[in-house]
Structure 1
Amino acid sequence: MRNATLLSTGMHVPDWVLPNAYFDQMLGEDVSTWLEEFAQIYERRWCREDEAVLDLCLGAAQQALTRAGLPAEGLDLIIVATDTPEYVSPSTASVLQHKLGASRAGSFDLNTACAGFVTGLELGANMIRAQKRYQHVLVIGAYAMSKYLDKTDKKTVTLFADGAGAVILKAEETADRGYLAGHLSTQGQYYDGMGIYGGATRIPMTQEVLDRGDHLLRFVYRFPRDLNQVEWTRVIHELSRQAGVQPQEVDHFFITQINVHAIHDTLAGLGVPPERAHTIMHHYGYTGSACIPMALNDAVEKKAIKRGDLLMFVGSGGGLAFAGAAFRY
């Protein structure tokens, strides 16, 4: 049986580390206490002025290729999931394809905000399963949201951070490993609650847009408090149904790293101990579409995952978009 397996991972973050104390000083008030007690964020990384999302993608991709023992020419497809692209057009994936030297690879970007990486994982796995020409697919989640932050808005400037994570999927004839299940869903009625609304066709870039700050990330209104937990639970149940398992049988959960308490509460409701969720927001802040592959890479580097483990990836993001995928490692 032809399937898509997880061959290797990679990660890249900027070298500029911002501890919480940086924001205490910048904002002139104590934000460290809330960040550490509620969000469990102690530091994060931001791109410097001369860095952009492509730099993050390149670093993560090169590490994944090295670990896979695969030359860039061995890639058949590149998927970049980001809502902070290198350019409005062309795609970040096309620039990455050139910079990597992946001359054989097709490429495209996708944008389901912070659910993007898991959406890309679902697409990449099913393209491998459907078409024999796809043997190696690179999926990247990349985030450079620091470029879009209002530096006076303490709700966003202290939370969001930059980074990229990569996975290379490989086609194998196996019934024991690889892709097991996937699910995509949308709560589109919340499209206007959070986003970057200026600079595209609805609100074209003008001096007035810049003056209002409409080109920056905005939280417009509060979402229902338990929305993520309800939807994450629904996704996990659907993945479990497709894979023929119970949530308690899953060895590792990789869930959007927006709120560690929401992650643990979700697992508690499923009868799953909190340590089965691998989290990285403590040192990297909230890295959007990059946080799930970064967490996977961190778990792999720490040898927390072994062959045969059951992994579930659950992403959520603006739109609101939700995505899930299950793999046997």
Structure 2
Amino acid sequence: MKNAKIISSGMYVPDDIYTNAYFDELLGEDVDTWLRTNVEIFERRWCKQGESTADLCERAAKSALKNAGLKASNLDLLIVATDTPEFVSPSTAAVVQNRIGAKNAGTFDLNAACAGFVTATETASHFIKSGGVDHVMVIGAYGMSKYLNKKDKKTVTLFADGAGAVILTSTDEQNKGHQVGKLISKGEYAEWMGIYAGGTKQPIDQKVIDADDHKLKFVKKFPPELNPEMWSMLARHLVNKMEIEMNQVDHFLITQININAIRETLKILEVEPSKAHTVMHYYGYTGSACIPMAFHDAWEKQKIKEGDTLLFIGSGGGLAFAANAFIL
């Protein structure tokens, strides 16, 4: 049986940097202190005017191809995980496929909000295991700055833009590559946070625009224990399925919304904090892009190496949760 192995990664973030001081001035109050203390975000990147999700994807895709030593024409499938697409229709993946010259690849977008990248790598792995494809590119992309209300300090200070990509290829090695995965949702939270206009439920009109209902909104505050409880449950599920101990996991790549939630998760699991690489400090919260960005950053800094066991754990609006384990 074929297995799916990650062979390369790439990432891209926009050039424009927004420090916490920008938001102090924008909002007329000190938000820097809270951001540094509670989430450890110091700056973030936003798209320029005219720059969009497909632009971010294109740059991350080319980086991953270069690092893999592959041509775009070698790709059999391209999946873009995003909830900030280029268009409502057609897919962002189709746009990116044309731009990079992946002429032999099928394409589709996947929306599991910020759990999208892990959900997409799980999907890609099963495509490869089926024997139908050999090379799959998965891109997690986020252009949430386009959906931010500049007066809403609950969202405008946290969310940012970026893209991360990985290439998975088929291998006969069962002790390398994808090991196990788990998807689960808590749909009772679907109306607690999201972008609620622009779909069929609430098409955009002047009333929607005046109320900023086409922008990202936190409707209700999530229980702070929710992510640590779910993330630790998913981690335990993966290691139990692999029949290994938690201390045998080398790295935890977790959704980068709140560093304290990540630390609490590792505390629950009795794991050293150094095993979770984080990038939100200088990139802000980049949704479905944050996990592949953290993975790429760790790989580039040689913190991750061949043979390491990695757990990818993502969560996002819906609420959607996804986790899987890979051995590099």
Shorter-chain TM-score range: over 0.9
The equivalent of 1:115 in structure 2 is: 115
| Residue pairs, 1:9-158, within 5 angstroms | 9-131=9-131, 133-158=132-157
Deviation, structure 1 residue 176: 2.5
| Residue pairs, 1:244-263, within 5 angstroms | 244-263=243-262
The equivalent of 2:165 in structure 1 is: 166
- The alignment's TM-score, normalised by the length of structure 2, stands at 0.99
- The alignment's TM-score, normalised by the length of structure 1, stands at 0.99
**Does the Cα contact within 8 Å between 1:140 and 1:165 map onto a contact in 2?**
yes
Deviation, structure 1 residue 211: 1.0
Deviation, structure 1 residue 175: 2.3
Runs of 4+ in 1 over 4 A off after TM superposition: none
> Percent sequence identity over matched residues?
57
Letter matched to residue 156 of structure 1: T
Deviation, structure 1 residue 249: 1.2
Between the aligned partners of 1:112 and 1:287, the Cα distance in structure 2 is: 14
Letter matched to residue 295 of structure 2: L
* Bigger mean CA offset, 262-271 vs 291-300: 262-271
Report the secondary structure of 2:174's partner residue: coil
Between the aligned partners of 1:104 and 1:28, the Cα distance in structure 2 is: 52
Letter matched to residue 328 of structure 1: I
**1:323 aligned to 2:322?**
yes
**Does the Cα contact within 8 Å between 1:16 and 1:46 map onto a contact in 2?**
yes
Between the aligned partners of 1:243 and 1:16, the Cα distance in structure 2 is: 42
C-alpha distance after superposition, 1:57-103 (max 9, x if no partner):
00000000001110000000000000000000000001111111101
**1:290 aligned to 2:289?**
yes
Letter matched to residue 227 of structure 2: N
**Does the Cα contact within 8 Å between 1:12 and 1:59 map onto a contact in 2?**
yes
Report the secondary structure of 2:36's partner residue: helix
Deviation, structure 1 residue 225: 1.7
**Does the Cα contact within 8 Å between 1:248 and 1:270 map onto a contact in 2?**
no
The equivalent of 1:234 in structure 2 is: 233
Report the secondary structure of 1:9's partner residue: strand
Between the aligned partners of 2:119 and 2:182, the Cα distance in structure 1 is: 9
Report the secondary structure of 2:84's partner residue: coil
C-alpha distance after superposition, 1:163-186 (max 9, x if no partner):
000000010111221000100000
| Residue pairs, 1:203-242, within 5 angstroms | 203-242=202-241
Between the aligned partners of 2:148 and 2:51, the Cα distance in structure 1 is: 15
Ranges in structure 2 where 5+ consecutive residues have no aligned partner: none
RMSD: 0.7
Between the aligned partners of 1:148 and 1:243, the Cα distance in structure 2 is: 40
Between the aligned partners of 1:175 and 1:326, the Cα distance in structure 2 is: 13
Report the secondary structure of 2:321's partner residue: strand
C-alpha distance after superposition, 1:209-232 (max 9, x if no partner):
111111000000011120001110
Report the secondary structure of 2:78's partner residue: strand
Report the secondary structure of 1:60's partner residue: helix
Ranges in structure 1 where 5+ consecutive residues have no aligned partner: none
Deviation, structure 1 residue 2: 1.6
Between the aligned partners of 2:277 and 2:235, the Cα distance in structure 1 is: 16
Report the secondary structure of 1:240's partner residue: helix
Between the aligned partners of 2:109 and 2:246, the Cα distance in structure 1 is: 31
Between the aligned partners of 2:75 and 2:14, the Cα distance in structure 1 is: 25
Report the secondary structure of 2:9's partner residue: strand
Letter matched to residue 5 of structure 2: T
The equivalent of 1:303 in structure 2 is: 302
Deviation, structure 1 residue 245: 1.3
Deviation, structure 1 residue 241: 1.5
Between the aligned partners of 1:74 and 1:134, the Cα distance in structure 2 is: 10
Between the aligned partners of 1:79 and 1:241, the Cα distance in structure 2 is: 29
Letter matched to residue 65 of structure 1: L
